[in-house]
Structure 1
Amino acid sequence: MAGSNLNQMLYYISGGQRSGKSRYAQELALQLSSSPVYLATSRAWDDDHRQRIARHVADRDARWTTMEEEKHLSRLDLTGRTVVVDCVTLWLTNFFTDTEYQVNQALALAQQEFDLLLQQDCTLLFISNEIGMGLHAPTEAGRKFTDLQGWMNQYIAARADKAIFMVSGLPLTIK
């Protein structure tokens, strides 16, 4: 389970691209808190990505506090907050590229950071992609990242209090 803190809760929300993960997580966060946090983990890789980030920020109303952190989520004080972490895939990409595609090193760093974050007394809603359910990645880096993503997803899901798999916009509770 998420940890020994009585008020802490860990939700794991996964699914494919455009499965409704973010919408579901945001709706759930607003049910849990009148002032949730949206924690964005993405780097702005190019202009298209910057526009996508701006669109996501514009989609949220004044109830939300937006925070950005590429890797070191535990450095933020999230005590007592309800936090949507969007998303594990982009967060892992930062570790993966910074370790020059070293899967084991990236996984160890991400797990260490995740464990540090779980020490905070907050409610976390982690959004992640299930990228291993599609076509086999054609590149070595793609195959390595798919493995990294799958292992980290298992790591988070094993610790989650609740796990939801999104299919075509519909939530399927798996834990």
Structure 2
Amino acid sequence: MIYLITGGVRSGKSRYAQNLALSLSANPVYVATAHIWDDDFAERVQRHKDDRGAAWINYEEERKVSSLPLEGQTVVIDCVTLWLTNLFEDSSHDITPAMETIQAEIDAIHHKAGTYIIVSNEIGMGIHGETVVARKFADMQGWTNQYIARLADTVILMVAGIPVIIKDEAGKR
């Protein structure tokens, strides 16, 4: 089962994903994909850590999320945008290898037993990127979200803290 939770910055994506995971499991797994770039970002990450209690099993993995022992568990992967940033940087801003890597990772997760709640951002809904690299990244993020959404059983767009169901194949079962 895959849930894709997407939306803008501070739309409530992570909180919604965490609450969903806790409603499905007493001991969910949290996978943080962030690379700590600066002090401000470190504070944001710490706030996220503080929001989670002792019930969580926590992993930090910037690239090879599918290599973690996630099989059969309820897992929050937060977030695709930061994960994709790491892969994009690794590829020297070449879209093709970054897309191939993220798709292979998503495919591997899709084939594992368990419930995966994947958090992403809708960065293409904001201003147009000023640089070639920013525009390439926005395109890649959009394509990645589309890829995950095709595989997902449920897709939820968060708007001002309110979940808007975009796709709900899970509810049809």
In the alignment, which residue of structure 1 is the partner of 2:139? 147
**TM-score (structure 1 length as normaliser):** 0.93
User: Is it true that 1:107 corresponds to 2:91 in the alignment?
Assistant: no
1:88 pairs with 73, 80, 93, which one? Answer: 80
**Of 68-77 and 44-53, the range deviating more from structure 2:** 44-53
Given that 2:6 and 2:13 are in contact with CA atoms closer than 8 Å, whether structure 1 keeps it comes out as yes
In the alignment, which residue of structure 2 is the partner of 1:68? 60
Q: d(CA) in 2 for partners of 1:29 and 1:127?
A: 12
In the alignment, which residue of structure 2 is the partner of 1:136? 128
> Once the 2 structures are TM-superposed, how far is the Cα of residue 51 of structure 1 from its aligned partner?
2.2
1:43 pairs with 21, 35, 46, which one? Answer: 35
User: Is it true that 1:10 corresponds to 2:2 in the alignment?
Assistant: yes
**TM-score (structure 2 length as normaliser):** 0.94
Q: Percent of aligned positions with the same letter in both sequences?
A: 54
Q: d(CA) in 1 for partners of 2:127 and 2:47?
A: 29
Post-superposition Cα deviations, 1:7-66, rounded to whole Å, max 9, x if no partner, equal: xx1000100111110011111101111111110000111222222222211111111111
RMSD: 0.8
Runs (4 or more) in structure 1 with deviation over 2 Å come to: none
Work out the number of aligned pairs and report it: 167
1:27 pairs with 13, 19, 31, which one? Answer: 19
Post-superposition Cα deviations, 1:52-99, rounded to whole Å, max 9, x if no partner, equal: 222211111111111110010111011221001000000000000000
**Of 101-110 and 148-157, the range deviating more from structure 2:** 101-110
In the alignment, which residue of structure 2 is the partner of 1:164? 156
Q: d(CA) in 2 for partners of 1:168 and 1:30?
A: 21
Q: Which runs of 5+ in 1 are unaligned?
A: 1-8
Q: d(CA) in 2 for partners of 1:16 and 1:29?
A: 20
User: Is it true that 1:119 corresponds to 2:111 in the alignment?
Assistant: yes
Q: d(CA) in 2 for partners of 1:69 and 1:120?
A: 17
Q: d(CA) in 1 for partners of 2:107 and 2:44?
A: 29
Given that 2:110 and 2:151 are in contact with CA atoms closer than 8 Å, whether structure 1 keeps it comes out as no
Q: d(CA) in 2 for partners of 1:171 and 1:50?
A: 27
